[in-house]
Amino acid sequence: MLQRTVSRAVGAKLRQIGSRGGKAAQAPLDRLSVRELEVFRLIGKGHGTRQIAEELYLSVKTVESYQAHIKMKLMLQGSRELVQRAIEWRLAETTTRIIGSKQNDLVALGLRQRFRDAGVFVVSLVSSPGAGKTSLLEQTLTRLHPRFRVAALVGDPATENDAARLARSGAPVRQITTGTVCHLEAAMVETALDSWALDDLDFLFIENVGNLVCPASYDLGESMRFVVLSVTEGEDKPLKYPTIFNTSDVALITKIDLAEPAGFDWDAALASIQSVRPGMRTLGVSARTGAGMGDYLALLESGLAAARGVAVAGGAAVAGGAS
Ligand SMILES: Nc1nc2c(ncn2[C@@H]2O[C@H](COP(=O)(O)OP(=O)(O)OP(=O)(O)O)[C@@H](O)[C@H]2O)c(=O)[nH]1
Ligand SMILES: [Mg+2]
């Protein structure tokens, strides 16, 4: 049977939230399994047994048995107490999330100011895993390095492979290992920058963790965010992940050398992007053949010039229609 699951990481996070603050602090939530926590969370959202069963693709009987286990593990007397405890926990969870995202916004605000003061143009790349971020950055750093002072930060859950690839360009590169966290946060960027003299840079590139969901909620203080979509991923990606397109400035279609063999439908892809984000600037590139790199690099250079208050031919760096 098809079942929705929450990951171990989500389960750990939910328990962690449940162990903080208010009455929920006393709740021994770590006794619950990941699936019980998910049921508990939906109870806290006010969902009834039947609704939970439908949402999790479970039978009503199974949900009832989870509810019984939760009551037993949390030593709750009856259904009313279960609902009350779940709502309290849900409220604490929501508050924690709001505070967390506000904290990130504050750090990002500080970073943006530092970047502006230093006159460094900061570009971040987000995409699903394997869309071609590192390959594009390898080309970007190599091509910009002779004329500009460039550096990169690269987020990866486990390895330093991408940092090693980027370092071959000769530009300074730092790795941010995120572990189980599926996105970069402003504080991670701040820490990674540490002793770097931003005044000595023209461009700073940030490769986010390959993920189209988590990074959307985290401002990194960047000047321009590219959402990268490769031609082998499906033209409807923007429709499936609208938030990341709405929080990005430019859509970059990568691996265009594969467009034809992959049967990529340009019109459908552009229509998807425009339906989610009307007027979004869209570029196509191939890190393999170099196709489209000229326009892409010109956009970066105009962004840098705009950031430094120099007049730029070709209009604003961020706004613009699909091309
Ligand atoms: N044909 C072709 N292949 C590409 C291109 N860009 C990247 N690739 C290939 O796509 C694969 C993934 O590329 P990466 O650059 O590692 O992708 P990524 O987005 O950095 O991946 P993660 O960091 O794991 O999210 C590699 O095998 C690349 O060689 C391109 O323009 N054309
Ligand atoms: Mg990469």
Q: How far apart are the first and last CA of the chain?
A: 45
Q: In this structure, is residue 162 part of a structural domain?
A: yes
Q: In this structure, is residue 77 part of a structural domain?
A: yes
Q: What is the number of residues in the chain?
A: 323
Q: The domain spanning residue 288 has which CATH number? A: 3.40.50.300
Alpha-carbon distance values, 284 to 70, 231, 239, 293 (Å): 51, 9, 19, 8
User: Are residue 166 and residue 199 in the same domain, yes or no?
Assistant: yes
User: Are residue 134 and residue 283 in the same domain, yes or no?
Assistant: yes
Find out whether the beta carbon of 133 lies less than 6 Å from any atom of ligand 1. yes
> Distance between CA atoms of 163 and 165, rounded to whole angstroms?
5
User: Are residue 71 and residue 188 in the same domain, yes or no?
Assistant: no
- Per-residue confidence of the chain (323 residues) as pLDDT tens digits? 334 444 444 445 555 544 444 444 455 777 888 788 889 989 998 999 999 999 888 899 999 999 999 999 999 999 999 999 999 988 887 777 777 777 888 899 999 999 999 999 999 999 999 999 999 999 999 999 889 999 999 998 888 899 999 999 999 999 998 888 899 999 999 999 988 899 999 999 999 999 999 999 899 999 999 999 999 999 999 999 999 999 999 999 999 999 999 999 999 999 999 999 999 999 999 999 999 999 999 999 999 998 887 654 443 333 333 33
- The pLDDT, as a whole number, for residue 316 is 37
User: Are residue 162 and residue 37 in the same domain, yes or no?
Assistant: no
User: Are residue 81 and residue 191 in the same domain, yes or no?
Assistant: no
Alpha-carbon distance values, 6 to 13, 14, 56, 209 (Å): 11, 10, 10, 19
Q: Is 28 helix (H, G, I), strand (E, B) or coil?
A: coil
Helix (H) or strand (E) holding 189: helix 186-193
Find out whether the beta carbon of 318 lies less than 6 Å from any atom of ligand 1. no
Q: In this structure, is residue 196 part of a structural domain?
A: yes
Find out whether the beta carbon of 288 lies less than 6 Å from any atom of ligand 1. yes
- The pLDDT, as a whole number, for residue 123 is 97
User: Are residue 80 and residue 205 in the same domain, yes or no?
Assistant: no
- The pLDDT, as a whole number, for residue 12 is 54
C-alpha 133 to ligand 2 mean position (Å):
5
C-alpha 210 to ligand 1 mean position (Å):
11
Closest residue by CA, ligand 1 atom 6? 132
What is the number of domains present in the chain?
Answer: 2
- The pLDDT, as a whole number, for residue 92 is 85
C-alpha 204 to ligand 2 mean position (Å):
16
Closest CA to 300 of 309, 288, 312: 312
User: Are residue 123 and residue 92 in the same domain, yes or no?
Assistant: no
- The pLDDT, as a whole number, for residue 134 is 96
User: Are residue 191 and residue 280 in the same domain, yes or no?
Assistant: yes
Q: Which ligand is nearest to the CA of 158?
A: 1
User: Are residue 176 and residue 252 in the same domain, yes or no?
Assistant: yes
User: Are residue 79 and residue 153 in the same domain, yes or no?
Assistant: no
- The pLDDT, as a whole number, for residue 160 is 86
Q: The domain spanning residue 42 has which CATH number? A: 1.10.10.10
Find out whether the beta carbon of 292 lies less than 6 Å from any atom of ligand 1. no
Q: Can you give the residue range of the structural domain that contains 67? A: 8-97
User: Are residue 253 and residue 142 in the same domain, yes or no?
Assistant: yes
Find out whether the beta carbon of 208 lies less than 6 Å from any atom of ligand 1. no
Q: In this structure, is residue 316 part of a structural domain?
A: no
